[in-house]
């Protein structure tokens, strides 16, 4: 799960640098980048429960969109 946050945060960071106007429709993109930075740079202090709790609402909404 951490790897997915790393990838998503890195992608958003690159979009921010190259085409920032694309981020207008993405909520909480700054938080995603910040969370990615915590995962990368403070991995030894990472709490798996916090990562799971952060991902759980995203996973639930993703399943709902698939059914629609």
Residues of the chain with pLDDT > 70, as a percent, come to: 82
pLDDT, tens digit (0-9, with 9 covering 90-100), for 4-19: 889 999 999 999 999 9
Of 31, 12, 34, which Cα lies nearest the Cα of 23?
12
Q: How far is Cα 27 from Cα 40, in angstroms, rounded to an integer? A: 22
The pLDDT of 21-35, averaged and rounded, is 92
Residue 67, pLDDT score: 47
The pLDDT of 35-50, averaged and rounded, is 84
Residue 14, pLDDT score: 96
Angstrom CA distances, 20 to 11, 17, 23, 26, 45, stand at 12, 6, 6, 11, 31
pLDDT higher than threshold 50 for residue 65: no
């Amino acid at each position: 799960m951490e790897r997915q946050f790393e990838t998503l945060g890195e992608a958003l960071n690159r979009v921010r640098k190259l085409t920032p106007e694309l981020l207008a429709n993405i909520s909480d993109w700054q938080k995603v980048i910040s969370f990615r930075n915590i995962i990368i740079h403070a991995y030894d202090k990472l709490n798996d429960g916090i990562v799971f709790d952060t991902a759980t609402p995203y996973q639930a909404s993703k399943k709902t969109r698939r059914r629609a």
